[in-house]
């Protein structure tokens, strides 16, 4: 089983990519890598000319579409500009076949300058994901820039509130979206060791 993390930012170092890294960390912490494969797709690394000219035969585009086809679940992260998801994500989604997300679970994640762009997840991105046949689109996670400040080294760090929301989102992705079995609260006890009274 595979989860594909799609980075839809035109920048290599962004707040939305930071949230995607947080999701990857949580997936690796909760599930053995032999059981759940976590792959990444950075749209900015695809050929810009192939994306803009809709060149489906370009090797980078072919590989990216294959990654989407192979994945059981997608986590799509994007910055929000002018109340819409990023242009690089838009051109990539336009290249996907009409049923590319059929039977797939999708967790959308977005970042923006202020809380006012929060509805871009529901009113801009979600309809496109639905039109591509996504089976289940989980509640998205939106973070404003102030919730992902830079640390002393200049690196973006997700704040506590966003950390907690990502915990919930990954839990939903695994257990509701992918029907991943919950870990037992107690270790199993052999029947011969069980004590009982009549």
pTM above 0.85, yes or no: yes
Query: How far, in Å, CA of 6 to CA of 33, rounded?
Result: 18
CB distance 96 to 62 below 8 Å = no
Instruction: Report yes or no: 70 and 38 within 8 Å, Cβ to Cβ.
Output: no
Nearest Cα neighbor of 36 from 64, 7, 75, 66 is 75
Percent of the chain with pLDDT over 90: 68
CATH number of 2-193: 3.40.50.360
Residues 122-154 pLDDT 10s? 889 999 999 999 989 999 999 998 999 999 888
What pLDDT does 182 receive?
65
Burial of 170 (0-12, 13-18, 19+ CB in 10 A): buried
Average pLDDT (87-106) is 95
Can you tell me the distance from the alpha carbon of 99 to that of 103, in angstroms, rounded to the nearest whole number?
9
Q: Rounded mean pLDDT of 160-165?
A: 94
Dihedral class, residue 106 (left if φ above 0, else alpha if ψ from -120 to 50, else beta)? beta
Q: In the prediction, which pLDDT does 188 show?
A: 63
Helix/strand/coil percent split, the chain, to 5: 40, 20, 35
What pLDDT, on a 0 to 100 scale, did the predictor assign at position 32?
Answer: 74
């Amino acid at each position: 089983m595979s989860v594909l993390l799609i980075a839809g930012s035109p920048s290599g170092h962004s707040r939305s990519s930071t949230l995607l890294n947080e999701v990857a960390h949580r997936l690796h912490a909760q599930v053995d890598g032999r059981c759940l494969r976590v792959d990444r797709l950075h749209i900015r690394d695809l050929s810009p000319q192939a994306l803009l000219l809709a060149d489906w035969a370009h090797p980078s585009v072919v590989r990216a579409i294959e990654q989407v086809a192979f994945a059981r679940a997608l986590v799509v992260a994007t910055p929000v500009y002018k109340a819409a998801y990023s242009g690089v994500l838009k051109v990539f989604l336009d290249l996907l076949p009409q049923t590319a997300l059929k039977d797939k679970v999708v967790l959308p994640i977005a970042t923006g300058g202020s809380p006012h762009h929060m509805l871009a997840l529901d009113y801009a991105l979600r309809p496109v994901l639905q039109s591509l046949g996504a089976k289940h689109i989980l509640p998205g996670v939106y973070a404003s820039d102030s919730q992902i400040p830079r640390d002393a080294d200049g690196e973006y760090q997700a704040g506590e509130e966003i950390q907690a929301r990502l915990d919930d989102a990954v839990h939903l992705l695994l257990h509701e979206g992918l029907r991943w079995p919950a870990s037992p609260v107690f270790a199993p006890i052999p029947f011969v060791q069980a004590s009982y009274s009549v």
